[in-house]
Amino acid sequence: MAAVNLALVELWLYLGISIVWVFTRVFVRWKAQSVHGLAIDDYLMVFVIILYSGETSIGQIVNDRWHGLGNSGMTDEERANLDPNSEEWDLRVKGSQTHLAGWLIYTAILWTIKICWLFFYKRLAGGVDVMTFWVKWGFVFCGLTFIATFLTTLCGCWPISRHWQINPDPGNACQLGVARVRAWVMLFTNLSTDVYIMVIPLPVIWNSTFSIKKKFGLAFLFCAGITTAIFGGIRCGIILRGWSKDVGMTCRWSHRETFLGILTANVPVVVPLLRRQLHRIIGWSASWRASGDTSEASDRQDGAKKFYKMKHGTAERKRFKHPLSLPGETFFEGCGSVEELVDMDTTTKQESQTNMLRSVDHHDSK
């Protein structure tokens, strides 16, 4: 029972972190662009949180109310001896029905996140024709793979009521916790779309004029979704290897995958802001320490300023800027702003690509 409680704590902890993470993204974008400046991918990410709340609730029900039971993990003899009027029969039927709903929501979350990435790239791709071309085909690819995955999950066992059939054995295709066909389809469609989306910005990064260090940094930033693909592979591997004896285990790995998907999809927007704010705090701290170093030096400086103003008039005051806040001094500052693509000059292909990459945080963190 303790293990089940820990599993539930894990699910809700993931949801809480995801809500804070997405709220930070939306707040950053709203502060920089106002409500009218929010883009489609921002609204889609809020929709993802709604879906993820539903998936978390399903995980709660599967583990807590149905005790992780489904129509899998039973021998023919156990199926024949199980009383249709028994509590276990009822738990297995409802567990299978709930798990089917969880699979469908899980699929919708993953592909909505993929669409978010594509809309994000679409905003960045102004003036970069090659990137725009692959983004457009990405929408087609994701749409087709979503339909294939969704229909395989829902209709791979027909009639649909066989998904929760106990006796006789409905077959492997109708047992969601161990269904190999679904696992293979999900493995192929999920990994192929993830790889496709991650590869889209790489040619632009490679052809840019940035240093090798910055190129690798940007590549890592846009390819962070590889962690989601890895967890998706682990989840399918558990099913294909027969390590999952109940639906609760596959539910937990589904939550881990979607949680990482939400985190990584918001990295290009949220992380640059956090770095910028950290640099500002460092700058303020350095300014505060510098202001109290020596009162004597400060007095001499004030006297010199007063004398200058008396002789030449009032000069325009300049705000102190810590070196860390100056453009080009840090990785993200040197890359500029991801959102500036909308107004960038596209005189040459290389300039367009370089300007695109210089869009990592300037606009989102204003």
What's residue 319's pLDDT?
A: 41
The reply to whether 327 and 259 lie within a common domain is: no
pLDDT at 336: 40
Domain that holds residue 299: 277-357
The answer to whether residue 365 is domain-embedded is no
364 neighbors 269 (Cβ within 8 angstroms): yes
Tell me the three state secondary structure of residue 360.
strand
If you average pLDDT over residues 269-281, what whole number do you get?
73
345: confidence class by pLDDT, cuts 50, 70, 90: very low
pLDDT tier at 79 (50, 70, 90 boundaries)?
very high
| Domain assignment of residue 362, yes or no | no
- pTM > 0.95: yes or no: no
SS3 state of residue 71: coil
Question: For the chain, how big is the Rg over CA atoms in Å?
Answer: 27
Give the rounded percent of residues in the chain with a pLDDT score beyond 70. 72
Q: Do residue 52 and residue 111 come from a single domain?
A: yes
Asked if pLDDT for residue 261 goes beyond 90, the answer is yes
Q: Does residue 363 sit within a domain? A: no
Given this model, what pLDDT does residue 131 score?
85
Looking at the fold, whether 240 and 339 belong to one and the same domain comes out as: no
Predicted confidence at residue 126, as pLDDT, reads 67
Domain shared by 201 and 316, yes or no? no
**Mean pLDDT, residues 76-89:** 94
pLDDT confidence band for 251 (50 / 70 / 90): confident
Q: Is the pLDDT confidence value at 182 over 70?
A: yes
Together in a domain, 109 and 189: yes
- In a domain, residue 116? The reply is yes
- Mean pLDDT over residues 82-104, rounded? 94
246, 270, 294 - which closes a domain: 270
Residue where a domain terminates, one of 251, 270, 289: 270
Cα separation of 346 and 119, whole Å? 20
Total domains, the chain? 2
Residue 326: per-residue pLDDT: 27
Q: What is the pLDDT of residues 122-151, one digit of tens each?
A: 888 766 678 889 999 999 999 999 999 999
- 192 and 308, same domain (yes or no): no
Say whether both 175 and 287 belong to one domain.
no
Give the pLDDT score at 34.
77
Segment 259-278 mean pLDDT:
82
Residue 330 resides in a domain:
yes
Asked if pLDDT for residue 117 goes beyond 60, the answer is: yes
In a 13 Å sphere around the CA of 27, the CA atoms on its Cβ side amount to: 9
Which of 221, 241, 270 is a domain's end point? 270
Q: What is the pLDDT of residue 270?
A: 82
Dihedral sign, Cα of residue 62, residue 67, residue 73, residue 79:
negative
**Same domain, yes or no: 66 and 195:** yes
Q: Is the peptide bond before 323 cis (omega within 30 degrees of 0)?
A: no
Whether residues 192 and 292 share a domain: the answer is no
Percent of residues, the chain, with pLDDT higher than 90: 43
Residues 98, 226: one domain? yes
Residues 347 and 201 in one domain: no
d(CA 251, CA 280): 42
Asked if residues 13 and 252 have their Cβ atoms less than 8 Å apart, the reply is no
Any idea what the CATH number is for the domain that residue 23 is in?
Answer: 1.20.1070
On average, the pLDDT of the chain sits at: 78
Out of 58-62, 122-126, 311-315, the most confident range is 58-62
Q: What confidence tens digit (pLDDT) does each residue in 8-52 have?
A: 899 999 999 999 999 999 988 887 777 788 899 999 999 999 999
218: confidence class by pLDDT, cuts 50, 70, 90? confident
CA dist., res. 29 & res. 363, Å (int): 9
